[in-house]
Copies of this chain bind each other. A is one copy, B any other.
Amino acid sequence: MEQMRAELGQDTEPRRERAGRMARREKRAHGPSGLHRPYIVRNIPTYDILSEENLVRIEATADRILEEIGIQFRGDPPVLDYWRRAGAKVEDELVKFPKGLLRQILKTAPAEFVQHARNPANSVVIGGKNVVFSPAYGSPFVMDLDRGRRYGTIDDFENFVKLAQSSPWMHHSGGTVCEPVDVPVNKRHLDMVYAHIRYSDRAFLGSVTAESRAEDSIDMTRIVFGEEFVDRNCVIMGNVNVNSPLVWDATMTTALRAYARANQAAVIVPFILGGAMGPVTNAGAIAQSLAETMAGCALTQLERPGAPVIFGNFLSSMSLRSGSPTFGTPEPAIGSMVVGQLARRLNLPLRCSGNFTTSKLPDAHAMNEGTVSMLAAVHCGANFVLHSAGFLDGLLSMSYEKFVLDDDFCGSLHTYLDGVKVDDNELALDAFQEVGPGGHFFGCQHTLKNYETAFWDSAVADNEPFEKWEAAGSVDAATRANKRWKKTLAEYEAPPIDPGIDEALRDFIARKKAAMDDAWY
């Protein structure tokens, strides 16, 4: 990993190692470059909550699910051939896996890989001790305080790409940051991938809604990075979902295989809503998740051994009164910690959890659930945190204000993941000698030496005394966030791009669009 970082020529040192606070504040005013680390290298351990004995029991249950019940692979015959040749038992479309088979196949998957960004300073290392924050993904709706909830458009999509690009705390541009429903379904992916390339210079995700759209997404990266580079390096990822319980459909497996075939990373994610797509008990849902994800990850290795792949996870709970999914609740949070332990035992990079809530407003409810859920992601050791910022409304809406609040929280998590450093300066014995009992540390030498890098400084919290806050209009956090996203968009400047590449991309898109009639489903 050290080597990867050295090769990338990046600075991922904790902020306190870098330029002083004042310098950083000045840089913040001039854009994100001063504060931005390309990704976090965690300095605190993962939170491992389950005993070896219980982990083994969950793994044994996953093995029995795989061997005795099996997984259906629907409508993609080459997949069945792969499994047959690998030694699985294939009955019609049902595949049953002898114990140990998937673990054996997974040995070729890398524990860590680089996803290259078009700006090399923003390339991310995924796996190991690294943590990458990416915006939320997949909402059909967008929300803001001025206009309420409405369907997302390509303008909204570009706005969220611009907000992420402007943030010092997002490491990734994301994928379907909202559904641009004003663009025909069969052409949407072209505009989305273009927006990520044009309005951001960070790494991103491509389309998975059809094999051809996955291939178009990858083809566009070939224009940016060159064919040979793309064949040798990960430059785009695709987030593919299991059709839980225990079904992989052809849309997902053909997309998964398109990414793997091109040596690009698939993120393999079951969406298990306990009580619907999985059991209501946590240990069972985790065992299912392990079985489904191992099968998907292994399939990438059958398509192309050594292709990068991410072990993904999405546990959710349910309101058993209404049947509604619930998010940010304790069961998925605590379950994520266990999934993290299981992924590390497979030596695979982990995607887990994110900032989830059912709240329809950027209110107290939203940030309580979101914070529980997001802290679970960093505690469980997630390497790629999709859905780090923006979700409200049970994942159905991308909120401008929530994006700002979540993004600020992602900033504080940079400090959190730096942990407690212990050295002579941090231990500050000289300060105690100078100040003594009953003294004050504000003006002491140690404080003067360290205050520029001390303490996380939120951009949206209001820490002023009550009277000052009241005199300034008693503004709440959501209103401050509303002001902030508008300012950020007003000040946004697109990163430079080679005009030839831009033209080639536009040409590619124009040709693809001209070759298809609009389809709206």
Q: Which of B64, B247, B279, B426 contacts A281 (CB 8 A)?
A: B426
Task: Specify which chain B residues have a CB less than 8 angstroms from the CB of A425 in the assembled complex.
Answer: 281
**Contact across chains for A49 and B44 when beta carbons are under 8 A apart:** yes
Residues 445-497 (chain A) with a chain B CB within 8 angstroms: 446-447, 450-451, 454-458, 460-466, 469-470, 474, 476-478, 481
A21 interface residue per 8 A CB criterion: yes
Expressed in whole angstroms, the minimum distance between the Cβ of A169 and any Cβ of chain B is: 13
Q: Which of B280, B419, B427 contacts A284 (CB 8 A)?
A: B427
Task: Specify which chain B residues have a CB less than 8 angstroms from the CB of A363 in the assembled complex.
Answer: 363-364, 476-478
**Contact across chains for A446 and B279 when beta carbons are under 8 A apart:** yes
A211 to B379, CA, bound (A): 44
A223 interface residue per 8 A CB criterion: no
A429 interface residue per 8 A CB criterion: yes
**Contact across chains for B286 and A420 when beta carbons are under 8 A apart:** yes
A397 interface residue per 8 A CB criterion: yes
Expressed in whole angstroms, the minimum distance between the Cβ of A144 and any Cβ of chain B is: 14
A427 to B61, CA, bound (A): 7
Task: Specify which chain B residues have a CB less than 8 angstroms from the CB of A284 in the assembled complex.
Answer: 426-429, 431-432, 446
Task: Specify which chain B residues have a CB less than 8 angstroms from the CB of A285 in the assembled complex.
Answer: 428
Interface 0/1 of A99-132, CB less than 8 Å to B: 0000000000000000000000000000000000
**Contact across chains for B282 and A426 when beta carbons are under 8 A apart:** yes
**Contact across chains for B247 and A440 when beta carbons are under 8 A apart:** no
**Contact across chains for B317 and A455 when beta carbons are under 8 A apart:** yes
**Contact across chains for B247 and A280 when beta carbons are under 8 A apart:** no
Residues 318-376 (chain A) with a chain B CB within 8 angstroms: 318-326, 329-331, 333-335, 337-338, 358-372, 375
Expressed in whole angstroms, the minimum distance between the Cβ of A64 and any Cβ of chain B is: 6
A320 to B65, CA, bound (A): 56
Q: Which of B274, B330, B433, B437 contacts A412 (CB 8 A)?
A: B330
Number of copies: 2
A320 to B362, CA, bound (A): 28
**Contact across chains for A465 and B372 when beta carbons are under 8 A apart:** no
| A69 nearest CB neighbor, chain B only | B432
A520 interface residue per 8 A CB criterion: no
Residues 402-441 (chain A) with a chain B CB within 8 angstroms: 405, 409, 412-413, 415-416, 419-423, 425-429, 431-433, 435-441
**Contact A247 to B333, CB < 8 A, known contacts A454-B281, A457-B321:** no
A394 interface residue per 8 A CB criterion: yes
| A70 nearest CB neighbor, chain B only | B437
| A431 nearest CB neighbor, chain B only | B279
- Partner-binding segment picked from A50-58, A81-89, A227-235, A506-514: A50-58
Expressed in whole angstroms, the minimum distance between the Cβ of A374 and any Cβ of chain B is: 9
A421 to B61, CA, bound (A): 14
Expressed in whole angstroms, the minimum distance between the Cβ of A79 and any Cβ of chain B is: 14
Q: Which 4 A-B pairs have the closest CB atoms?
A: A284-B428, A365-B477, A246-B437, A330-B416
What are 29 A-B contacts with C-beta separation under 8 Å? Answer: A50-B420, A61-B427, A71-B437, A149-B466, A243-B438, A245-B437, A247-B438, A275-B441, A279-B450, A281-B450, A282-B426, A283-B423, A284-B426, A284-B429, A288-B432, A326-B463, A329-B415, A329-B456, A334-B415, A334-B420, A360-B466, A363-B363, A363-B364, A364-B477, A364-B481, A365-B461, A365-B476, A371-B371, A396-B466
Residues of chain A having any CB pair with chain B under 8 Å = 21, 44-45, 47-50, 54, 57-58, 61, 64-65, 68-72, 94, 141, 149, 243, 245-247, 274-288, 317-326, 329-331, 333-335, 337-338, 358-372, 375, 379, 393-394, 396-397, 405, 409, 412-413, 415-416, 419-423, 425-429, 431-433, 435-442, 446-447, 450-451, 454-458, 460-466, 469-470, 474, 476-478, 481
